[in-house]
């Protein structure tokens, strides 16, 4: 017997498919625009899904409702996709320290008043947001693909600059004049997680070569020097270990570890209860920043630290020593890149 509701099912399904196809077309367009501006966003679908989960008010499916922050606008792949999904009354704050990112963001904001652009480090997130409460924050530090490829930018090739914000601090080539052997070795240890001996060796060679040649000025010089000291990773020819040293210097020059921790704390302070902060980690150091900061916001589980006095309790569970009305927890296991994302390195 024919199902009397079958016509309605088909209509419902048709509507769902049309919504899904519309979203897919929007996201595809955002990806395309981001890529042609110089960078393809990672984990795009997961980011949108997490933000969809924490929207305010009545679900506005297929739109997302609320106030969100993209701490690292880059070339706007994530922001563009979010703007396509956000309702008209929503707001998206975009931060970046790279002037090119800000120029791209401002052009977009001229067409879309929901986008509020700030040239600021994510370490200043608290000051940017003030009392504003947000549903979601995205932190995706590092650099964009076009900056990596730009031989004048000094991120992965060209001059030994390494700064994301070229108006702040000093290029690595100058900074090497100011840092001592002990300081550099310690900073490398925190960032590289190589042995003390290896970090001493790298620090010593870098500073000696810097003095010997009258100043290291190019990224190539650093790569050549580290290649002499470190065997290529896994016996390969890509100089994996040598680019780790460069990545460590970049992290140090941009104060990435401290700034990411600060951004995360500010994000937790600005989120509504139930809000989410998504961190796209650049590697193990970022991952430990996330777990270190989260451990500051752990609630003592029942029946733990029962013998601890107040001082010990705040040492074990820093949240207990504060008047903060919220805690924080990991809501999902770390996500893996797709095969295509991995193959792009």
Smallest distance from ligand SAM to CB 52, Å: 18
Cα separation, 56 vs 69, in Å, equals 15
- Compute CA distances 7 → 2, 4, 19, 80, whole Å: 10, 7, 19, 37
Residue 229 φ then ψ, to 5°:
-90, -30
Q: How many residues lie near ligand SAM (CB under 6 A)?
A: 26
Say whether residue 93 binds ligand SAM (CB under 6 A).
no
Nearer to ligand SAM, 211 or 344 (CB): 344
Cα separation, 83 vs 47, in Å, equals 13
Find out whether 87 and 60 touch, Cβ atoms under 8 Å. Answer: yes
Cα separation, 298 vs 340, in Å, equals 36
* Residue from the set 54, 82, 83, 95 that interacts with ligand SAM by CB under 6 A: 95
Question: CB atoms < 10 A from the CB of 117, how many?
Answer: 23
* Residue from the set 27, 50, 52, 78 that interacts with ligand SAM by CB under 6 A: 78
CA-based nearest residue to 246, from 170, 178, 191:
191
For the chain, helix, strand, coil in percent to 5 are 55, 10, 35
Nearer to ligand SAM, 51 or 143 (CB): 143
* Residue from the set 76, 136, 154, 275 that interacts with ligand SAM by CB under 6 A: 76
Smallest distance from ligand SAM to CB 260, Å: 8
* Residue from the set 65, 72, 217, 257 that interacts with ligand SAM by CB under 6 A: 72
3-state SS assignment for residue 86: strand
* Residue from the set 55, 83, 84, 98 that interacts with ligand SAM by CB under 6 A: 98
DSSP H or E segment with residue 128:
helix 125-129
For 222, the token pair is 């650093």
* Residue from the set 27, 34, 43, 185 that interacts with ligand SAM by CB under 6 A: 34
Beta bridge partners of 117: 94
For 238, the token pair is 């890509």
Smallest distance from ligand SAM to CB 4, Å: 48
Say whether residue 154 binds ligand SAM (CB under 6 A).
no
Say whether residue 85 binds ligand SAM (CB under 6 A).
no
Binding mask 156-195 for ligand SAM (x = CB under 6 A): --------x-------------------------------
CA-based nearest residue to 73, from 15, 46, 34, 24:
34
Nearer to ligand SAM, 153 or 189 (CB): 153
Nearer to ligand SAM, 153 or 210 (CB): 153
Say whether residue 101 binds ligand SAM (CB under 6 A).
yes
Cα separation, 121 vs 138, in Å, equals 13
Cα separation, 168 vs 252, in Å, equals 14
Say whether residue 27 binds ligand SAM (CB under 6 A).
no
Window of 121-129, 231-239, 309-317, 320-328 that interacts with ligand SAM by CB under 6 A: 121-129
Smallest distance from ligand SAM to CB 258, Å: 10
Say whether residue 239 binds ligand SAM (CB under 6 A).
no
List, in order, residues 6 or more apart from 206 with CB less than 8 Å away.
176, 184, 216, 222, 225
Say whether residue 286 binds ligand SAM (CB under 6 A).
no
Binding region for ligand SAM (CB under 6 A): 34, 39, 41, 71-72, 74-78, 95-98, 101, 121-123, 140-144, 164, 254, 259
């Amino acid at each position: 017997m024919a199902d009397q509701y079958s016509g309605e099912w088909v209509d419902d399904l048709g509507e769902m498919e049309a919504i899904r196809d519309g979203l897919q077309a929007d996201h595809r367009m955002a990806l395309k625009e981001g890529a042609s501006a110089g960078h393809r966003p990672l984990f795009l679908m997961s980011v949108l899904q997490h933000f969809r989960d924490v929207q305010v008010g009545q679900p506005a499916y297929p739109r997302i409702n609320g106030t969100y922050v993209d701490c690292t606008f880059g070339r706007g792949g994530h922001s563009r996709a979010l703007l396509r999904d956000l309702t008209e009354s929503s707001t998206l704050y975009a931060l970046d320290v790279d002037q090119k990112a800000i120029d791209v963001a401002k052009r977009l904001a001229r067409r879309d008043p929901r986008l509020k652009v700030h040239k600021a480090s994510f370490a200043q997130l608290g000051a940017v947001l003030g009392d504003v409460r947000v549903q979601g924050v995205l932190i995706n530090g590092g650099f964009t693909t076009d900056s990596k490829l730009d031989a004048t930018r000094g991120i992965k090739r060209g001059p030994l600059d390494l700064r994301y914000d070229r108006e702040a601090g000093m290029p690595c080539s100058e900074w090497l004049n100011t840092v001592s052997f002990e300081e550099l070795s310690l900073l490398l240890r925190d960032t590289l997680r190589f042995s003390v001996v290896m970090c001493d060796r790298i620090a010593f060679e870098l500073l000696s070569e810097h003095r010997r040649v009258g100043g290291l000025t190019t990224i190539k010089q650093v790569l050549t020097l580290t290649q002499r000291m470190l065997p290529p990773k896994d016996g390969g020819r890509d100089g994996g270990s040598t680019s780790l040293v460069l990545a460590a210097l970049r992290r140090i020059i941009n104060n990435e570890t401290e700034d990411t921790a600060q951004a995360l704390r500010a994000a937790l302070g600005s989120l509504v209860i139930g809000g989410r902060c998504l961190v796209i980690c650049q590697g193990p150091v970022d991952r430990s920043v996330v777990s270190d900061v989260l451990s500051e916001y752990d609630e003592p589980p029942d029946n733990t630290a029962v013998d601890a006095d107040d001082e010990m309790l705040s040492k074990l569970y820093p949240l207990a020593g504060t008047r903060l009305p919220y805690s924080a927890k990991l809501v999902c296991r770390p996500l893996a890149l797709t095969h295509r994302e991995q193959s792009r390195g």
